[in-house]
Amino acid sequence: MTAGSRLPEGSYDAVWASPGRVNLIGEHTDYNDGFVLPFALPHSTVVAARRRAEPGWTVTSEQTGETVAFQDEKVEGWAAYVAGIVWVLREAGHDVPPADLWITSDVPFGAGLSSSAAIECATMAVLVDLIRASGGADLPMQLRPRLAQRAENEYVGAPTGIMDQAASTLCRAGHALFLDCRSLATEQVPFDVAEAGLAVLVIDSKAPHAHVTSEYAARRRSCEDAAKLLGVTALRDVDVAGLDDALAQLDDEVMRRRVRHVVTEDQRVLDTVAALRAGNLRAVGSLMTASHESMRDDYEITVPQVDTAVRVALEHGAYGARMTGGGFGGCVLALVNEDEHESIAAAVREAFAANGFAPPDSFVVTPSAGTRKISR
Ligand code: GLA
């Protein structure tokens, strides 16, 4: 069943779907102007719209059953992701037609799979469709991620980078999206795991996301402070060859570790892209594991649940495993043989039970399509 099939019956003026994402590699590099390599999940958020005669907008969530109405007032809670997109489109000079919106999603919430970016990007797609239908200008897909990120940063108030909105908008089925977060240049890199006899297993650690917003902001600040001290625009401007020199210029040990993560992580993205272009999918595994170790030891954003999931997956035959997303909980990705995902998931469940952790969820994902129109 797709999320769209749960919309109320009737006709709509526009229906669009945007997916959640996982990030294959390149964590906390986006706000450092670096590289990321996400792919879209089969799970998506669907937003449907009907024009209305009265001014303002309403949005009804299938999940919460609530309807929120708004015009110019500030909206809080889940509906802020919708109201933020109306706000940012108007800020950018678009005349957004009044509309009733419905929203339904099968992207797990609070699992670090970008359920909020999926809402933002699907909302933007339906509103752009309504704007176009009423004679307004189009907004090319390539320009949408920046605007959706601005809604998240300035309206919702979360200081995130551009990865999630770019992934939800621009990803293609069967591919990972290689994104340069400075130039916003993209390359669709083929990532056909099934053809290689592999599978990507997602393990949702279900670990409670404590302090995620403040810790995320602290990491970001530390990177920006380091860039200033090093006299560069962003940590993207330090490469692995220059890392030791850069570290020697920094007195603070914590800051040195943060810089080492970002600089080596950018290189791991480049190495992963090279391995995928060469059709060497199994080589991606060790890069994923190195990324996890860097997040655990240098960036200090993992928690015992995700470290356990990674360790147990590797012990049971995964080629590589890492936490994906902002951290402090969320999901682990493991690159595994196609016929081993069930045994690996079972081993992780057992280890969680033995450690007294809440039971994890797990599912296999294939790289799926980004934002797309749904016909109803
Ligand atoms: C969250 C943010 C992204 C990115 C990741 C970490 O998902 O929304 O912009 O910074 O964390 O890679």
- DSSP letters along 139-208, please? --GGGHHHHHHHIIIIII-----SHHHHHHHH--TTEEEEEETTT--EEEEE--TGGGTEEEEEEE----
Closest alpha carbon to 135 in 86, 96, 87, 89? 96
- The Cα 255–Cα 118 span in angstroms is 32
Paired residues of 213 in beta bridges: none
Q: Alpha-carbon distance 209 to 38, whole Å?
A: 21
Write out the residue range of the structural domain in which residue 62 sits: 3-189+369-373
**What mean pLDDT is predicted for residues 17-42?**
98
- pLDDT above 90: residue 2: no
Confidence of residue 3 (pLDDT cuts 50, 70, 90): low
- Angle, helices 304-315/283-294, rounded to nearest 10 degrees: 150
Number of domains in the chain: 2
Mean pLDDT of 1-11: 70
13: its two tokens: 């003026």
- The active-site residue out of 33, 164, 204, 298 is 164
One domain for residues 303 and 154: no
Q: 1 pLDDT band (50/70/90 cuts)? A: very low
318 and 250 in a common domain: yes
CATH label of the domain that carries residue 204: 3.30.70.890
Q: What are phi and psi of 133, to 5 degrees?
A: -65, -25
Q: Is the C-beta atom of 349 inside 6 A of ligand 1?
A: no
My answer on whether 183 and 210 are in the same domain is no
30 lines ligand 1 (CB under 6 A): yes
- Could you tell me the strand order of the sheet in which 35-36 lies? 35-36, 175-180, 186-190
Q: Find the CATH number of the domain harbouring 109.
A: 3.30.230.10
Give yes or no: residues 196 and 183 share one domain: no
Q: How far is the CA of 292 from the centre of ligand 1 (A)?
A: 15
Q: Are residues 126 and 153 in the same domain?
A: yes
Is residue 141 domain-shared with residue 235, that is, in the same domain? no
- Could you tell me whether strands 57-61 and 99-105 are parallel, antiparallel, or unpaired per DSSP bridges? parallel
Amino acid identity, position 48: A
Work out the percent of the chain whose per-residue pLDDT is above 70.
98
pLDDT of residue 100: 98
Q: Give yes or no: 251 in active site.
A: no
Compute the average pLDDT of residues 92-120.
Answer: 96
The reply to whether 215 and 339 lie within a common domain is: yes
Instruction: Inform me whether the pLDDT recorded for 9 exceeds 90.
Output: no
> 263-278: string of b/e by CB count within 10 Å (b at 16+)?
bebbbbbbbbbebbee
Ligand 1 binding pocket includes 160 (Cβ within 6 Å):
yes
152-169 residue pLDDT tens: 999 999 999 999 999 999
* One domain for residues 159 and 242: no
Q: For residue 376, how far is its CA from the centre of ligand 1 (angstroms)?
A: 33
150 C-alpha to ligand 1 centroid (Å): 14
Element housing 320 (H / E):
strand 320-324
Mean pLDDT along residues 222-249: 98
The verdict on 26 and 174 lying in the same domain is yes
pLDDT digits (tens, 9 = 90+) for 15-27: 999 999 999 999 9
CA distance 127 to 107: 21
Is 242 in the same domain as 310?
A: yes
Q: Do 22 and 83 belong to one domain?
A: yes
Residue 308 has pLDDT above 70, yes or no: yes
Q: What is the pTM of this model?
A: 0.96
If asked whether residues 146 and 239 sit together in one domain, one would say no
